[in-house]
Structure 1
Amino acid sequence: MRAELERVLAAPGFREAGRLAPFLRHLVERALEGETAGLKESVLGVEVFQRAADYGPRTDPIVRVEARRLRGRLEEYYQGEGAANPVRLTLPKGGYVPVFQVVDQRPGRGGETVFRMRKAALLAGVLVPMLAVGLLIVARWGGTPGRPEVTAVAVLPFRSLDADPANDYFAEGMTEELIDRLGRLPELSVAARGLTAGYRGDNVDPREAARALGVSVVVEGSVRRQQDRLRVSARLVDAATGSALWTEVYDRPAGDVFAIQDEIAASVANALRVRVKPPVAPVPSRYTANLEAYQSYLKARQQANRYSAEGFEQAVRHYREALAVQSDYAPALAGLSQVYALAFYYNALPPGVAPSEPRRLAERAIAIDPALAEAHAALGMVLGVGDFKWKEAEAAARQAIDLDPRSALAHGLFAAAVLMPQRRFPEALASFRRALEIEPQLSYLNFTYAFALLASGDTTAAIEQYRRTLSLQNVHPDMEWDYGMALGFAGRHAEAAEAFARADRLRGNAPGRPFGIAALLAGNRAQALLDAPRVDQAARERRTSRMEAARLWAMLGERDRAMEWLERACAAGETQAVWIRADPRLRSLQDDPRLHALASKLGL
C-alpha cells in the first residue's frame, strides 16, 4: 500500500501540487497506523493545515476544499499515467479515510475494465495485515472480514522494593519488557509506557488507572533484588470489580529474569483466554540471555532518556559495558548509535570516536537483527542530519515505523531528523503528535516538537509546548534558551531575557546581559549590533559556530553577511547547517536564491 502511495506522490501532478501531497501522505499514514478516528475535519485542520486549536470547519472550509482538489487530482492520475497500476488509491466523498482497491485489469464489455479483488492475494495474506490495523480495503465483489475481539490492557510501572533508588532501572526494565511482549499479541491492545508512567508508587488504585487509561484489565507488580536472587510479584486486576484474575510470586535466581518475563506475559494471556504458542511471541536476538549485558543496557536506556550531557555520558558508559560483555547485542548497538548521533550533532563526540561511528553501529545492529526498529530509526537519523541523504533516511525511518508502529522514538526521529530539515512541517507535526501520544513524558520529543511548532510559524503553540517541556524533569539548557527564543519572537522581551538567564545558570555560567541573538530577542537591537563583530571574531576563531554568525546577521537584516557565513558553515560541514531551510532565525533568507542554491547542495 505504501508503494502505491509513493508511486502517486512521485507523479508530476503531485510533486507540484503544493500541500496536496503532504495531505494525502498524512491520511494514508494515519489510516495504516489504525488512527482513523483522527481523520475528521476538526483534527485535520489543525494537524495538516496548521489552523488554531479552536479551529471550526463551519467557518473555515479548508479541509473540504483541499479534499475536493485531492479527489480530482487522484482521478486525473488514474485516468492517465496510473491507469495500469495494480492498486488504486481513492478518497470517497463524505469522508477522509483513504481506500485502496486491489485490481485485476481485464477487458470487459465495450472495452471497459473490470476491477475485482484477487482472492488468491487475499488468501495469501497480502491484505489481511492491513485490515488488522484498520485500513479500509474494498472491492466490488465482497465485504470486509471481521476483526478479532481485542482486550485493552495496561501494565502499570512495577515498583522497586530495593532500598537503593539506583536499582530502579531493573523494575523499569521489567515494565517495558512486559509491555513489549504483550504488545506482540494481536488480541491485546496494550497502553504505551508513556501513558502509564504517571501511575507509579504504592498508592495507585488500579481501577482508577484503568478508567483513566480506557482499559479493562491492569497488570501491576513489584521487584526486589537481593544479591543474586530476584523476587517478582505480579497480578492481573479486573478494572470493573478490582478483583485479581491472576496472581503469582516468583522467587528465582536473578539470571532467570527473562524466563520470568515470558511466564508473566504467558500467564496474563492465558487469564484473558488469549491463545498463545510459547514463547508469548517471537523473541529474536534483540533480547539477550546475558544478565550482565541486560542490566547495563537498562541503565544506559534510563540515562539516555534524561537528555542531558551527564545522562548521555553515563549512557555511553553503560552501552559500552553491555557491548564489552556481548559484542553482538543489537539493542545496545542501536542505542549507542543514537547517543553518538546526538553527540555528533552537538559537536561532543567522545575522544577517539569517528563521525562515521554512529552509522557503523546502526548498520551492524541491523545486520544482527533486521527486525529491530530502533536500529533502523538510528540509521534514519544518521543518514538525515549526519549525511544529508534524505531519500535513504526516509526509507530507514519508515522501515522503523513499519517494524514497530508503537515506537515513539521511531515517529519522533522521523519527524526531527528527516521531515523537519526539509520543511515538511505538516507531516513533521503529525509525526510528533503521534510520538507524544505514545510517550508523552519524553523530554527530547517534547523539546523538538516545540521547535517544530516555532519553525512552522505557530509561535503561540510553541511557547505553550516549551512550557510543557520545562515542566518535565529533565531540563536541558537548550530548552530554556529556545523557550526564550520563542518568547522573543512573540515580542515578550523581558520574559525572553529571564529564560536566557536561566539557561546560563543551567550551563554553570553566571547570568549576564543577553548577548548577540539573545540581546536582539530580548528587545535590544542596538546591543545586538554592537555584539555582531564580536560574534564574527568568535566564529573565525571557532569559539562559536559559523551558523551562529549567520543567524545573527540574518535577524539583523544583513542578508549578504548572513549568506557569507552560511556558505562557510556549509563548506565546513557544520552539523547545524541542516536547519538552513527550517531555522526560524533564518526566515529573512528563505526567498534568497543563494540560500536555495546552498540548500540544494545539501539535498534540501
Structure 2
Amino acid sequence: MLPDEPRDDLKDGQKATRVRQEVTALLESPSFARSKANRALLNYLAEEYLAGRGEAITEYAIAQDLLGRDDDFDPTTDPIVRVRMRRLREGIAAYYDEHPDRDMRLEIPRGSYVPGLVPVLSLSARATMHTTPDAGASVTEYASPKPAPVRAATVRRSRGFGVIVLLGLALASCLFLYGAQVSDVSPPLESAQPVVSAYPRIAILPFANFTEDQTHDEYGKSVQHQIAGDFGRFGRAEVDVLSSVADKSALTKVDYVLSGSILSVGREIDLTVELTDAQSGEVLLQRRFVQSVEQGDFYAALRAVSQQVSGTLTAQGGVLSGIDGVAPSGRFHCVVLTDDFLDGLSPERFQVAHTCFQPLLVDLQEDPIAAASYGTLMLHAVPGFPFMDVAALPEEMYVTAEEVTRYAERLADRYPNSDVVFTLLGAVHNATGDTDRAIHELRHAVDLNPANPTSYGVLAYAYMAADLYEEARDAALEAIRISAAPQPYLYLPVLMSGLVHRNARLVDMARQHYAMQQEPSRDVVLLAAAAMIGDTAEVARLKAMIGTPEDPLAGLRGFVRGEIGQGALERYLEAVGVNVPDAPCLSSASGNVNRELVCPP
C-alpha cells in the first residue's frame, strides 16, 4: 500500500454513516442546490440504499417511482433514466473536483444505481505515484500522449446537412476493432511510441513593424506568438516559431512559411499576412486583417484578429486545406478523402475513404484529429440519422447510434483537451436527441478553441434543435465571421432565427447565402423566407418547384426539432397554401423522446 493511502475497511454501520455524510455534503453544495433533478435523484438513490434496497434499484423503478413513467415504460425508446444518471454522475464528479481534500468520495458506477464509497489518495500518496513509479507496477495516473499535429483538409460546399457534423472526417467501419483500441489500449506515457507526423509543417516569423512608431517593434513578437498559439490549438499542422528571417536552415525543414506586417496599431490592429511555399517560394496567400481596439485593450484585439487568421488558414476548409497537390500519404490523405465525401455525401466517396483508413486504424489512437474524422464518418453511417442515405453502402459499414456514442465518449476520455473530439461528441448527442448534453459538449469545444468555426457551426445547430434561436443565430454568425469561406449551411440557423423573431432584414440576408445549399429541403425553407418578407414572385416560383409533398418538413425535422422552429416554418408555409401535417415520429427513438412524441418502438 502506498503511504497515506486511505483504507476501505469501514464496517456496514460506518459506511452508511459516511454515505449519509457525503450525500448531505453534495446536496448542500451550490451546484446541487441549483439542480432540482440531481437533488431528487440522489435523494432517491441514497434513501433506497440506506433502507437496504440498493440492489433492487432498477431503471424501471427510477422511471416509475421518481419520474412518473407508466407501467409501459420502455428504456429502449425512452432514455430518460440514463440521461438523468449521466448528469448526476457529472454533478458528483464536478463536486469532488472542487473539493479534492475529502478522503472519501461518493460514486455511482456505470451500470449500477447503488451509491458507494471510494477512498481518495492523499496528496503525498499522489505525489509518490507520479514521482516514483515502480518499473514493474502499472501507473494509474498519467498524462495523455501529446496529440499529433494534423493538417486540415478541404471542406468544399457540402450537400445536405452532413456538414453540420463536420470537423474532422472519418470512417464508418471496423468500429469494434478501433473502439477497443480507444478504450482498452491506453499505455502510460512512458511506454507510448513517438508518433511520426503525417501533416505539414509551418514556420511562423516575427511580424515586421511598418508603422511610423518604432516602439511598436515589440508587437512583432506578440503577434507571432499569439498566432502560433492559435494555430497549435487546431492540431492540423506542426508549428515552428522562428526568431528571425535570417534562420535560413530552419526554413528548409518546413513546408510553408507564414510572415506578415503590422500596418497600424491604435484604434485598430491592421495586419497583412502572407503564406508562401517554403521550397518554391510561391506566394499562396496574401490577405489583410483589421480588428478594432476597444477601450485601448490591444491584446484583446490581438486575440480576436489572431482567431481570424488561424481560422482562415488552418481550420477545416481553410487555405491550407485547399492547396492542391500537397496531401502526403497516410492519415492526412484519408482525411482529405473524407473531406471529399462530405462534399456531396457520396456513398462512393465514403467507401474510398473507408478503404484508405483500413491499414491505419491502429495509428488513429494516437491522432485525435484523424480519430475524430473517423468518428464523423461513423455518424454519417447511422441508418435513420438525417445526414446521408446509407442504402447504397454495404451493410457491414452501418453503425448504430449506441456504437458511435460509445466511440465518441471514449475518445473524449482519452483526449480531454481536443476541441475536434468534443465537437464530434456534441454532434453525436445532438443527432441522438440529447440537446442539453450536446450544447454542453459543444460549448466546451468552443472554449478549447474559440478560433474553430466548425465548433460554432455545430453548436448553432444544437441550439436550433433546442429552440434557442438567439443563441443559434449568434453561434452561426461567429462561425461565419471566422470562416475562410463560410459554407451555406451556416446560414440556416440565422435564417430560422429571423423567421422565429420576425426579422425581415435578417431573413433576407440569410436566404441569399442559404440559397447556395445543395439540399432538397432548401426550397422549403426559402419558400417560408419568401412568404415572411412578402416576395410574391419568389413564392410563386418556389411553390411550383415544391409541388404538394405529403410532409414538406420531412427533411428538416431532424434539425429544426422544437415546436418554436417547426411552428414558424408551418405558419409561413400554410400562409401561402402549403399544408404541413403534425410532426411524425422520427427513426431516432431518443429524438422522439426529446420532442415528447409517443411513438411505437
TM-score, normalised to structure 2, is 0.46
**Larger relative contact order (Cα-Cα within 8 Å, sequence gap ≥ 6):** 2
Please state which structure has a larger fraction of its residues in helix. Answer: 1
